Amino acid sequence: MNDEKKSSWERLYSSGAVESLPWFYPGLDPDFEQALESWGISGGQALDLCTGPGTQALALAQRVYRVTATDISGSAVEKASRLAREKGLEIAFQQNDIMDNRLERVFDFVIDRGCYHVFPLEQRAKYVPAVADLLKNGGLLLLKCFSNREKRSDGPYRISPGEIKKLFSSLFQIESIKHTVFQSGDGGREPKALFCVLRKRR
């Protein structure tokens, strides 16, 4: 990831309240909640990739999972880490660039809420082996991104089910891809999204 991109995320998180960011969702995103239940993931080591405000990591830690949470922005990690301490939750926060991964361990499952879709196509292709390296064999990647059905002009890249199948199939079994939305939690706009369950091949 180039320095300009890195510092734009850092500027964003160092300059204002995380609650005002458009992706801020105070509890566990309902699609992740449903997937954890229907796939019977009732414990284990979780990674919240690109944790940002850290709300998903906190919600997972409140539900018995042992959680690591990473983001490219040091300020995001610092703010989320402070919030976890205030709530008495133990989460291993670490600044990490998924495009230049320094984490040397693997997880039972990884959640990605709005990370994959921030990268242009050539980086999305690099993301796939990078995230596979962070999963145990047979582990699940739960990934939520903007879908190509979303018609607004701004925002992140739009992803089609066909792209997911094309880029992930060599390293992941495609368990499911469903059309959904990014729930706003406050009655605001709800961009169209894909929610994907991908299993790392053994």
Interface contacts to ligand SAM, rule CB under 6 A = 1, 9, 23, 50-53, 55-56, 71-73, 76, 97-99, 113-115, 118
Q: Which amino acid is at 30?
A: P
* Cβ-based nearer residue to ligand SAM, 157 or 173: 157
Residues 6 or more apart in contact with residue 9 via CB below 8 angstroms: 71, 72, 73, 76
Q: DSSP letter string over 24-41?
A: --SS--HHHHHHHHHTT-
* Cβ-based nearer residue to ligand SAM, 35 or 50: 50
The Cα 71–Cα 51 span in angstroms is: 6
Nearest to 145 by CA among 131, 14, 133: 131
* Cβ-based nearer residue to ligand SAM, 72 or 134: 72
- Minimum distance between the CB of residue 12 and ligand SAM, rounded to whole angstroms? 7
- Minimum distance between the CB of residue 202 and ligand SAM, rounded to whole angstroms? 26
The Cα 178–Cα 196 span in angstroms is: 6
**Beta-ladder partners of 174:** 198
- Minimum distance between the CB of residue 175 and ligand SAM, rounded to whole angstroms? 21
* Cβ-based nearer residue to ligand SAM, 113 or 199: 113
Q: Which residue sits closest to ligand SAM, CB atoms considered?
A: 52
* Cβ-based nearer residue to ligand SAM, 119 or 168: 119
- Minimum distance between the CB of residue 73 and ligand SAM, rounded to whole angstroms? 4
- Minimum distance between the CB of residue 56 and ligand SAM, rounded to whole angstroms? 6
Instruction: Report residue 99: phi and psi, to 5°.
Output: -85, -5
